[in-house]
Amino acid sequence: MFQNNPLLEQLKKNLHQKTPRVEGIVKSTERGFGFLEIDTQKSYFIPPKNMKKVMHGDKISAVLKIEKDREIADPEKLIEPFLKRFVGKIEKKDNKLFILPDYPLLKDLIIICYPKKKYNDSFQTGDWAVANLVQHKLNGYTIFCAELIEKIVKKNDPLTPWWVTLSRHNLEKKEPLIEKQDFLLKDHFKRRDLTNLDFITIDNVNTKDIDDALFIKESDDGDFCLIVAIADPTSYIASGSELDIIASQRGFTNYLPGFNIPMLPRELSENVCSLIPNKRRPVLACSIKIKKNGDISNIVDFFLAWIISKEKLSYDDVSNWIEQKGSWKPSTKSIEKQILLLYQLCLSRMKWRKLNAVLFKDSLEYRFQFSENGTVKNVVVEKRRIAHKIIEESMIIANIVAANFLSKHLGFGIYNIHSGFDVGNAEHAVSFLKSYNLKFNAKEITTLKGFCNLRRVLNVLSNNYINSRIRRYQSFGDFSITPSPHFALGFSEYATWTSPIRKYSDMINHRLLKSIIKNENIIKPNEEIKFKISEQRRRNRIAERDISDWLYTLLLQKKEYQNKTFSAEITDISRSGVRAKIIENGANVFIPALFIHPVREELILNQETGKAFINGNLHYKVSDLIQITLFEIRSKTRSIIAKPNH
């Protein structure tokens, strides 16, 4: 009687439309219940029984209901699953395979419904794999189910942090492999013969992909003439070739703790193109005149050449010799002269930049040390020394003149840009600075000149707290096809071309510079390649950070670090606690609010100001140095929990 009744169908439809529904992101908790976050201000409770239908991070629509006088969300429809392609750890039970996703808030095993036959035999508990989620409970299935795609690494392999992280971010694990590797010079344009000049390279001792060599001479009036010679991989790689496409997809050589994954085949990057000492190599070169006061003149010449590097020097040896430490000394008087002139140029440019641009302060760098089987042994602290600055200043000069050259002849290229403050953040920055009696206005600091002046004032003030707050208001660095300022460096335009073995953006600029030299037809890079390079850089940086976090959890589990007091700098304050970096080794730690003060109502943690108050009194602020002890190393989440030593 009621079957196919149109009135009943209409009634159901009306009831469905009137039932309140919301869309949001599922956030799970340690205790089984969750919340449906609609926005930053509004969320709805999801009881444990309803959480069984969804996963943390799922975007869903839910029906709002009243249960026990409380409004709850009942998941109804999946809009976008959090898990799609994911990495996880295998568990084998009763000859069935399960996978536990490698995400902190996903704690339930997912059954492997569609394993390829070979996987049933090859996988054991503790192995790592890549999988696809193929069944979700909100899509009408009774279980969550995944399909195995790829085996990553076996249980307890020392290289697990690298292979799992690279798989998670879908990044390459090996150098490019192409069937035909005919690394023959394809560029037969006439080159200047500079093989008689005393070019030198300065790098880390173990660097193999050497892409820059320098030669300098001093004129009678005390000015400098610097020739920067850069390895020329584009002379071996045709535009649009298989290898060129691979390089464009990788974007960069991926430098990770312990090793790198090159953008180009090692035979090319570490041999054929590398500016190895005493080997004749083709280069793209630039001759630049720099006045003795550090000002770069307009006398600039880009050209193709042949060079022979006379010696590979190391940062430490050169720095020690300049600082009169140790026993090393240059092998010849001509090499000694090159080092001294480069040192003079470096000092001149640093002085110029301090007055006219932005001179950034030195920061500590941390390098992991490994045993022969790949396990982490220690972390060493490395400071940027004078030889690093010599190379840095030379490369900055080369990149400034390349940007000017591209702008003058083409009006496009791949430029590195930084826009300083947007208008809104400039207002916030000015308001903050005013509270410290630093008087600036928003219009002023949104200009390149005004921004540089602000940075110089802050450098003189040398207040780490003020610096950290101002950095929060600044924009991030990016790439642009057209010329635009780089506020953080203090230059009106900046385009890198000095690392073409390691960066695809530099390969693009090489081709543009060479096209100008050869007077060839020039194709403007499209916006898509800019976004592609930017995204690849972001993924590489996240992967490096994730591997480092994992290695720190492995290192700090050792007995010698238990009950040890560390000095740490507070880097962030949020509602849940304080983040800090251990000065000794660079590890990031988290201090929960409960460890700061046991009475939560008496504790205020303000992320906007970067300050923590107890009973209204300032207790901590970002940039403070505090003493801490490690409390817990959480291997599953790769996080380190610490307690302050009150």
Cα–Cα distance for residue pair 233/270, rounded to 1 Å:
11
Q: What share of the chain is helix, strand, coil (3-state, %, to 5)?
A: 30, 30, 35
Question: What residue ranges in 32-84 does DSSP mark as E strands?
Answer: 34-37, 43-46, 59-67, 70-80
Cα–Cα distance for residue pair 505/450, rounded to 1 Å:
29
User: By C-alpha distance, which of 195, 252, 264 is closest to 227?
Assistant: 195
Q: Which helix (H) or strand (E) holds 581?
A: strand 577-582
Query: Does residue 212 carry a catalytic annotation?
Result: yes
Query: Does residue 198 carry a catalytic annotation?
Result: no
- Pair 568, 625: CB distance under 8 Å: yes
Query: Does residue 209 carry a catalytic annotation?
Result: yes
Cα–Cα distance for residue pair 315/335, rounded to 1 Å:
14
- Pair 63, 15: CB distance under 8 Å: no
- For every residue of 286-301, which 3-state class applies, written as one string? EEEEECCCCCEEEEEE
Query: Does residue 301 carry a catalytic annotation?
Result: no
Q: Which of 102, 209, 232, 244 is catalytic?
A: 209
Backbone CA torsion sign across 196, 199, 200, 206 = negative
Residue type, 339: I
Q: How many helices (H) and strands (E) does the chain have?
A: 16, 30
The single-letter DSSP state of residue 270 is I
Backbone CA torsion sign across 276, 278, 282, 283 = positive
Cα–Cα distance for residue pair 121/290, rounded to 1 Å:
67
Q: Which of 103, 119, 315, 620 is catalytic?
A: 315
State the helix-helix crossing angle for 386-409 and 504-518, rounded to 10 degrees.
50
Cα–Cα distance for residue pair 415/406, rounded to 1 Å:
10
Burial string for 333-354 (b: 16+ CB within 10 Å, else e) reads: eebeebbebbbbbbebbbebbe
Query: Does residue 415 carry a catalytic annotation?
Result: no
Q: Measured in whole angstroms, how far is the alpha carbon of residue 380 from the centre of its chain?
A: 20
Q: Which of 191, 349, 502, 638 is catalytic?
A: 502
The single-letter DSSP state of residue 371 is -
Q: Which of 102, 127, 203, 317 is catalytic?
A: 203
Query: Does residue 69 carry a catalytic annotation?
Result: no
Q: Which of 58, 102, 127, 212 is catalytic?
A: 212
- For 212, counting Cβ atoms within 10 Å of its Cβ (0-12 exposed, 13-18 middle, 19+ buried), the class is buried
The single-letter DSSP state of residue 515 is H
Token pair, residue 271, equals 């041999």
Residue type, 132: N
Cα–Cα distance for residue pair 475/471, rounded to 1 Å:
8
Cα–Cα distance for residue pair 510/284, rounded to 1 Å:
8
Q: Please, which residues bridge with residue 62 across strands?
A: 22, 75
Cα–Cα distance for residue pair 569/59, rounded to 1 Å:
37
Cα within 13 Å of Cα(568), Cβ side: 29
The single-letter DSSP state of residue 621 is E
Q: Which of 58, 102, 211, 232 is catalytic?
A: 211
Cα–Cα distance for residue pair 543/161, rounded to 1 Å:
10
Q: Measured in whole angstroms, how far is the alpha carbon of residue 372 from the centre of its chain?
A: 27
Token pair, residue 261, equals 């994954």
Cα–Cα distance for residue pair 88/55, rounded to 1 Å:
15
Which of the residues are catalytic?
Answer: 203, 209, 211-212, 315, 502
